[in-house]
Structure 1
Amino acid sequence: MELGNLQQLQFLYLGPNNLTGTIPVSFGNLTSLVGLVVAQNDLYGTIPEELGDLSNLQQLYLGRNQGLTGSIPISLSNMSSLQSIDFACELWQHASACDFVSRMEQVKFEDWIFLAHFRTGKVPAEIGSISSLTSLGLGTTELDDPIPSEIAMLENLQLLSLENNRLSGSIPFEFGNLKMLNTLYIYGNKLSGAIPDSLGNLSSLEHLELGENALLSEIPQSIWNLTRLIELDHSENVFQGSLSSAISKMKALDSSSISMNQLSIPQVLSDLINIAYLNLSCNNFSGVIPDSLANLRRLNSLNLSFNKLEGVIPNKGAFLNHTVISLVGNKALCGSPKLGFPLCSSNVSVSHSKSRLHSLKCILPAIAFALIIVLGLYIHLKSHKGRSKNSNTTGTQFRNNYRLISYHELVCAPENFSDANLLGRGAFGSVYKGQLD
């Protein structure tokens, strides 16, 4: 039976298979068709103009048929019901793609996965005119020009996928206007410059992957305001400075890779209560391993390899599960033979304890001072109570037997506590001699 005769057919899914040949012209007769998927086959030739007659079509997936050639038929812009498109054909001309895109401005797209391998390597700027677009996929499509800022005009965009291309230039500052964006994938390109502060405005963002580029400078503080982030990848860039302790605000974070940069590590990471995967390898992290890492209870993969860490490896929390920890390349670490590190010498243990003792040296004097004040108040109140009970007897007897000395006399007797009258010093103070008049 000829497929083109099935005029009541609503869904035709033929991929992925190993189908060969051309797309039948008779597919234009399937006027009831809602979904047409012939992606991931070995089809060749041109796209039939007749497909433009499928006015009810909502899904059109033609991608990953490397033999498809020619231009995108303008007739396809008549498909007013289209919601989702997948184009991935090697030899489509950029000019025809731009013409097609400009004609689709009035189509109410919910999802457009536009995967065309343009010969000029450009993302058509005209794509910014399709304001209803919610998803745009241009990953692995051999694009090699700067990202057009016109993409930021897609105010309803929720997913933007530009990964694994050769895109150059910087991340457009205008991307901060994509307030509905949930997912941003730009990893695996040749992007340079700093991350724009404006990305911190994307309050709906849950997935941010900027790895494998040449981004530099410091990671802007605004990024740590994206508290809904679940996935964060800044790996294989040239970020410098200290990894901000503000990362601890990302309590929803499940997976993060910041490896292969030039960053130093913050001491406080224990607030990342949902983190399961954390890769901090190949950076400039130095000093002892923060205890806060041992308190991450959901952690099932921690990579701290090839840094400059030293001292005792924590013996608690995630560090007890040797199958999820990688510390290779930190030669100054010790205390975990199961991870391939020798036992610590007494000197190392002492130096590791010094960091904790340093904080105690600041805290203990304050505690001791407070205790002295409390004790002094207690003694004062106790003696005052005793004096009040015996005010008629003891007080009178004391006044009769001994002369009361004023504070002025007490100061003048040792000549204002002069060192010449100092007799000695002890644990409770200094002793002076003096002559009363």
Structure 2
Amino acid sequence: MLLKSYGFSDGTDRKALLEFKSQVSEDKKVVLSSWNHSYPLCNWNGVTCGRKHKRVTRLDLKDFQLGGVISPSIGNLSFLISVNLYDNSFGGTIPQEMGNLFRLRHLDMRLNFLQGRIPASLFNCSSLLEISLNKNHLREGVPSELGSLKKLVVLSLGDNNLGGNLPASLGNLTSLRYLDVASNNMEGGLPDGMATLTQLVGLQLIMNNLSGAFPSVIYNLSSLEYLYMSLNQFSGSLRPDFGTLLPNLRHLNMGDNYFTGAIPTTLPNVSTLEKLGINNNNMTGNIPVSFGKLRNLQWLYLHGNSLGSYSVGDLEFLDALTNCTQMDSLYVADNRLGGDLPNSIANLSKSLINLSLQNNLISGSIPQDIGNLISIQKLGLGDNMLTGPLPASIGKLSGLRVLSLSANRVSGEIPSSIGNITRLESLSLFNNSFEGTIPPALSNCMYLLHLSIGYNKLNGTIPPEVTQLSPLVTLSMEGNFLSGSLPKDVGRLENLIKLSLEHNDLSGKLPPGLGNCLSMEEMYLQGNSFDGDIPDLKGLVGVRRVDMSNNKLSGSIPGYFANFSKLEYLNLSINNLEGRVPTDGKFKNATIVSVFGNKNLCGGIKEVKLKPCLAQAPKMRRKHPFLSRKVVIGVSTCLALLLLLFIASVSLIWLRKRKKTQQANNSTPMFDVFHEKVSYGDLQNATDGFSSKNVIGSGSFGTVFKALLPTEEKVVAVKVLNLQRHGAMKSFVAECESLKDIRHRNLVKLLTACSSIDFQGNEFRALIYEFMPNGSLDMWLHPEEVEETRRPSRTLTLLERLNIAIDVATVLDYLHVQCHEPIAHCDLKPSNVLLDDDLTAHVSDFGLAKLLLKFDRESFLNQLSSAGVRGTIGYAAPEYGMGGQPSIEGDVYSFGVLILEMFTRKRPTNELFGGNCTLHSYSKAALPDQVLDIADKSILQIGVRVGFPISECLNLILDVGLRCCEESPMKRLATSEATKELISIRERFFKGRRTTKS
């Protein structure tokens, strides 16, 4: 009866669809429950039939979430005009049998898991108008047969794994209006045949490996309205008549390529342009003022180029953009824009949502009317040179979610009106000159996730209201003058991942609630005055980095730290901790845990180098009072006699030794901090009798040998003191005293020392250091002065030199500020900067170092004596020549000279210099216009990609060096400031990268 009612014509379609259903995964077949013999075929879910023949013409299963594979039986639906399988989970391949669907016009299989290649048979479907296969796992190339589809209007193949080149037959698709091959693995350029696609309106080439110059065939596609070609490897400059050739563009995105040259002046003539992106290229020149003519412009992305010249006039385009009333996004960050920030930014479109001017050299102040940008959600002005206060009108931006002003020179107080921005999610005022107290009104920003106000001049206490910001993920207040205690309710910040309060004046006990911050991964509390016991933090099982160094914490080290499986760094050094250091868990690794500078700690693993813990003597059972008293008196008398005998013996030995060596005024360092005992014989064997072939350096007080210690089977550097030289013993003592209690990744590690007698009965002193395989910085800067066998195989790149400068600045800041007692190195120069496998710098040779027990600036000006010159001529500060005492300012001067030498490759004692001409004056005279004339030419030849602003980078680096070696000590940069400026330069020009071993 069914066959009679509906005829035989639909039997093929019914059978094909039931076969299709059989290949759908079982758990999804319920969606196709109507596909059975009880329902008329044309009433089946997703099926549409033709009016005349009642045959299936459309199969629309969009968003059905079906799984399984596509049955080859689909090829039997010979009346199909449209197939829509969008957003399902079909796997397998596209059936070859689909090539039988000669009536097919629309094919949409986007968002599935289809694999394999696009079947060539599909291009037998000569009626096809649209093929959409985006977001599958198709591979291999685009079949050349697609050129037979003369009627094709839309071809979307994006987000697959298609490779190879686009076929030349693409040029046969003369009806094509939209082509999307974005996000594949294609390579090469575009075929010349594409020039015939004069009907093309949209072209997407995003994120392939397409390379070469801007494809010239595109200039022929005058109908283009949408052109997306970002994230490729296109290079070269754009034609000046670009806008004339493509006059109908509405969207143009060429970001993340390698385009160079200027923005074509004809581009702003494309009056239809709505969205423009040329971001992250190497574009130069000015941003055209004529962009102001584009009344329909909605977003302009020009960030990540080299636009501008760090000069007045770079920001004139902002005045013109006030005419673009539809604009919602403006990104011009990471360029070379200079000049004062114009007040006109407050008059930009009321629709503006995103504004980013970060990482330029923009100066001036923030306009008072900044509150006019009522729709703004993201405002980025960080990494510039802005000054003046943050206007109170900022509080009018009620929809603001992200505010970044970091790394500027903004001053004044943080306005309390900022509490009116109740939707604020990220506030970054890091590294400015804000002063006053933290406004309690911040507690109104109940969506705040990131609060970064570190390295300012803020004082007062941490408002308890801050603990009400329960969503906080990052709380950064380091490097201020905050005082008082940590709020006791800090445990309410249950989502806090990073807490940075280091280098303030905070005090008191750490609140127990700190252990309730269960999401904590990083906790930095160093450089404060916290006291008392470390609270119960055992709940912080996900913590990775903890630094509580340089405080006044007491009590024992909690054992729970040993069980923190994710712990990578624990620094408890320079406190008042006592008792036994654990040896299990994380405490087995000395590179993770640092506990030096706690006088009453003992035990731990060997590498920690602490005194052993004394075993507690068992208590004597008291039997008789009279007998106990007699025992005590007897023992005491014996001990006293033994002590007197020991003192007499030691005194006699010391007097004899003093007479023999005539070293009465020299003291010997405390060697008990060095656990590894090395004898003279060990060192003689390890250096092959102190053979000249093992000499790797020499200095004022001794010679350095390369040695292999047999006990450790480790290569080390042995510095043997020449005790015949006046001051050698003082140098030995100074080096031991300086290095025994300090530890930093950029200091050469002193492993142990040898104080012994040689085989002739003479005194012998040696220091054993970690070996640095890449020698000294001096060798790399002046290879022509080094033996052929020891010369580096290449020269240092600009980035490598900048990294080395940052390493040295970092360790100087540690010595000057972060050590328990400040230390002045007194002899900083390239030969005392050693390089490891990865060219990381390590400062060495503390033979002239001085502990500055009561150093301050006033005492420096008053401490003039006949101490004589400290350091090396050319590097020693000028005040040392007038009898000045060692100081951290003297080190800063030497560091400034070091920077100038590193980037000019000229020693301060070069024959060019004499009289009033010094390395300092020579460098200063070249800034800013002749900096390339004085720079080391090898920097200009290697490691510089096309368009890299090397002169601007060098100007900024050398300016830091010049400010460090000012003649007046009071005018010199602090090492902390120098470090921050050098890091900022690296981030600006190299995006924070470090180089590794080549």
Taking structure 2 as the reference length, what is the TM-score of the superposition?
Answer: 0.33
Q: Does 1:270 align with 2:534?
A: no
Are the aligned partners of 1:51 and 1:76 in contact in 2 as well (CA < 8 Å)?
no
Matches within 5 A, 1:321-340: 321-335=589-603, 336-340=605-609
Match of 2:329 in 1: 59
Q: How many Å separate the matches in 2 of 1:290 and 1:350?
A: 25
- Structure 1 156/51 Cα, relative in aligned 2: closer, same or farther at 3 Å? same
Equivalent residue for 1:80, pick from 339, 344, 350: 350
2:415 matched to which residue of 1? 148
Q: Distance in 2 between matches of 1:32 and 1:60?
A: 10
CA contact (8 A) 1:12 1:33 kept: no
Partner of 2:440: 173
Cα gap change, 1:285/1:81 in structure 2, threshold over 3 Å: closer, same or farther? same
Contact 2:413-2:437 within 8 A present in 1 as well:
yes
Matches within 5 A, 1:140-289: 140-264=407-531, 265-289=533-557
CA contact (8 A) 1:143 1:165 kept: yes
Contact in 1 for aligned 2:510/2:535 (Cα 8 Å)? no
Query: What is the alpha-carbon distance in structure 1 between the residues aligned to residue 278 and residue 343 of structure 2?
Result: 21
Indicate the SS of the match to 1:213.
coil
* Partner of residue 429, structure 1: none
Question: Counterparts in 2 of 1:382-401, with a 5 A limit?
Answer: none
**Secondary structure in structure 2 of the residue aligned to 1:193:** coil
Change (3 A) 1:4 1:251: same
Paired AA for residue 233 in structure 1: S
Larger deviation: 114-123 or 252-261?
114-123
Distance in 2 separating the partners of 1:75 and 1:206: 31
Q: Distance in 2 between matches of 1:32 and 1:63?
A: 18
Q: How many Å separate the matches in 1 of 2:415 and 2:383?
A: 16
Structure 1, unmatched stretches of 5+, are 352-437
Give the corresponding residue for 1:295. Answer: 563
Mark the CA change 1:124 to 1:75 in structure 2 (over 3 Å): closer, same or farther.
closer
**Which amino acid counterpart does residue 328 of structure 2 have in structure 1?**
Q
Q: C-alpha displacement at 1:204, in angstroms?
A: 1.2
Deviation, 1:185, is 0.1
Q: For each residue in 1:296-328, what CA deviation from the matched residue of structure 2 results, as whole angstroms up to 9, or x when unmatched?
A: 222111111111222211122221232211112
Cα separation, 2, equivalents of 1:60 and 1:8: 15
1:329-381 deviation line (CA, Å, top 9, x unaligned)? 2233222212222332214x989xxxxxxxxxxxxxxxxxxxxxxxxxxxxxx
Q: Determine if contact 1:10/1:34 at 8 Å carries over to the other structure.
A: yes
Seen in structure 2, the aligned counterparts of structure 1 residues 274 and 210 have a Cα distance that, compared at 3 Å, is same
> Would the aligned equivalents of 2:515 and 2:535 in 1 still touch at CA under 8 Å?
no
> Does structure 1 retain, via aligned residues, the 8 Å contact 2:493–2:517?
yes
CA contact (8 A) 1:305 1:326 kept: yes
1:63 to partner: Cα distance: 3.9
Q: Is the 8 A contact 1:86 1:114 kept in 2?
A: yes
Residue in 2 that maps onto 1:97: 367
Distance 2:305 2:547 in 1: 34
Q: 1:381 is matched with which residue?
A: none
Distance 1:32 1:272, change over 3 A: same
SS state at 2:316 partner: coil
Question: What secondary structure is seen at the aligned counterpart in 1 of 2:367?
Answer: helix
Which structure's relative contact order is higher, taking Cα pairs within 8 Å and 6+ residues apart?
Answer: 1
Q: 1:47–1:68: 8 Å Cα contact kept in structure 2?
A: no
Deviation at 1:135, TM superposition (A): 0.7
In structure 2, distance between residues paired with 1:333 and 1:14: 56
CA-CA distance at 1:59 after TM superposition: 2.3
Partner of residue 979, structure 2: none
Distance 1:200 1:183, change over 3 A: same
Tell me the distance in 2 between the aligned counterparts of 1:116 and 1:122: 16
Residues 345, 34 of structure 1: CA spacing in aligned structure 2 closer, same or farther, 3 A cutoff?
same
Distance in 1, matches of 2:618 and 2:282, equals 66
Distance 2:416 2:618 in 1: 56
| TM superposition shift of 1:201 | 1.1
Q: Residue type of the partner of 1:22? A: N
Contact 2:511 2:535 (C-alpha < 8 Å) held by counterparts: no
- Structure 1 residues 93 and 350, CA gap change in structure 2 (3 angstroms): farther
**Structure 1 stretch 62-71 or stretch 278-287: which is displaced more?**
62-71
The residue number in structure 1 matching 2:302 is: 37
Could you tell me which of 560, 572, 580 is aligned with 1:312? 580
Deviation of 1:37 after TM superposition, in Å, equals 2.2
Question: For 2:340 and 2:607, how far apart are their aligned partners in 1?
Answer: 61
- Give the direction of change, closer, same or farther, for the CA distance of 1:122–1:65 in structure 2 (3 Å limit): farther
Q: Which amino acid letter does the alignment assign opposite residue 297 of structure 1?
A: S
Structure-2 change in CA distance of 1:136 and 1:246 (3 Å): same
| Residue in 1 that maps onto 2:286 | 22
Question: After superposition, what is the alpha-carbon deviation per residue over 1:181-200, rounded to whole angstroms, capped at 9, x for unaligned?
Answer: 11100001110000011111
Alignment of 1:99-114 (within 5 A): 99=369, 101-105=370-374, 107=375, 109-114=376-381
Aligned residues: 345
SS of the residue 1:248 aligns to: helix
Whether the 8 Å CA contact 2:461–2:484 is kept in 1: the answer is yes
Residue 269 and residue 83 in structure 1: after superposition, are their counterparts in 2 closer, same or farther (change >3 A)?
same
Distance 1:116 1:308, change over 3 A: closer
C-alpha distance in structure 1 between counterparts of 2:345 and 2:418, whole Å: 24
Q: Give yes or no for contact 1:112–1:137 (8 Å, CA) kept in 2.
A: yes
The whole-number CA distance in structure 2 between the counterparts of 1:238 and 1:92 is 32
CA distance in 2, matches of 1:146, 1:343: 52
Give the aligned partner of residue 10 of structure 1: 275
SS for the counterpart of 1:342 is coil
CA contact (8 A) 1:72 1:92 kept: no
Distance 1:191 1:256, change over 3 A: same
In structure 2, how many angstroms separate the alpha carbons of the residues matched to 1:75 and 1:162? 20
More displaced 10-residue stretch of structure 1: 136-145 or 69-78 = 69-78
Q: Greater CA deviation, 262-271 or 151-160?
A: 262-271
Aligned equivalents of 1:68, 1:350: Cα separation in 2: 76
Conserved? CA contact 2:286–2:307, under 8 Å: no
Task: Report the Cα distance in structure 2 between the residues aligned to 1:239 and 1:75, rounded to whole angstroms.
Answer: 40
Counterpart of 1:333 in 2: which secondary structure? Answer: strand
SS in structure 1 of the partner of residue 587 of structure 2? helix
Separation in structure 2 between the aligned mates of residue 239 and residue 233 of structure 1, nearest angstrom: 12
Q: Aligned letter for 1:311? A: G
Amino acid at match of 2:286: T
Cα 1:324–1:18, aligned 2, differ >3 Å: closer, same or farther? farther
Aligned to 1:344: 613
Q: How far off its partner does 1:129 sit?
A: 0.5
Greater displacement, 45-54 / 279-288: 45-54
Query: Conserved in 2, the CA contact under 8 Å of 1:312 and 1:344?
Result: yes
Q: Distance in 2 between matches of 1:224 and 1:350?
A: 43
User: Cα gap change, 1:313/1:128 in structure 2, threshold over 3 Å: closer, same or farther?
Assistant: same
Instruction: Report deviation, 1:219.
Output: 0.8
1:148-170 C-alpha deviation (Å, 9 max, x unpaired): 11111101101000000111101
- Aligned CA-pair RMSD: 2.6
In the other structure, the counterpart of 1:416 is none
In structure 2, what is the equivalent of residue 136 of structure 1? 403
State the alpha-carbon separation in 2 of the partners of residues 126 and 172 from structure 1.
16
Structure-2 separation of matches of 1:212 and 1:237: 6
